[in-house]
């Protein structure tokens, strides 16, 4: 069961993270350093379902890094019916 729902909007240079029931959004660079910073902050949010809204293939590095770190993530396109 997931206790946190996180949405990520990804572009070429950065990505924006929104966490359900929090008013703040968080910005990270879409590179290894920014992704690692995001994941280190994410470890405080166990049992999270993460949905990524990517443009082109810009979400792939984030998605791969999340998966390798043990988080459940899915591109929004996979969730469409």
* Mean model confidence pLDDT for the chain: 85
Task: Decide: 71 and 63 in contact? Cβ < 8 Å.
Answer: no
**Residue 57 pLDDT class (50, 70, 90 cuts):** confident
For position 32, what pLDDT does the model report?
95
Ordered by start, the domain boundaries in the chain are 4-79
Range from 2-6, 12-16, 28-32, 74-78 carrying the lowest mean pLDDT = 74-78
21 has pLDDT over 60: yes
Residue corresponding to tokens 């206790």: 3
Tell me the CATH number for domain 4-79: 3.30.420.60
- For the residues of 20-62, what is the DSSP string, one character each? TT-S-EEEEESSHHHHHHHHHHHTTS-SEEEEEEESTTTTHHH
Mean pLDDT on 47-65: 86
**Residue 39 pLDDT class (50, 70, 90 cuts):** very high
Nearest to 58 by CA among 25, 31, 27: 31
Q: Is the model's pTM score more than 0.85?
A: no
CA–CA separation, 20 and 29 (whole Å): 21
């Amino acid at each position: 069961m997931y206790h946190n729902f996180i949405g990520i909007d990804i572009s070429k240079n950065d990505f924006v993270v929104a966490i359900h029931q929090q008013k703040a959004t968080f910005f990270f660079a879409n590179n290894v350093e920014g992704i690692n910073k995001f994941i280190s902050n994410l470890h405080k949010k166990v049992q999270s379902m993460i949905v990524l809204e990517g443009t082109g293939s810009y979400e792939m590095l984030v998605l791969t890094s999340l998966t390798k770190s043990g988080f459940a993530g899915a591109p929004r396109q996979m969730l469409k019916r």
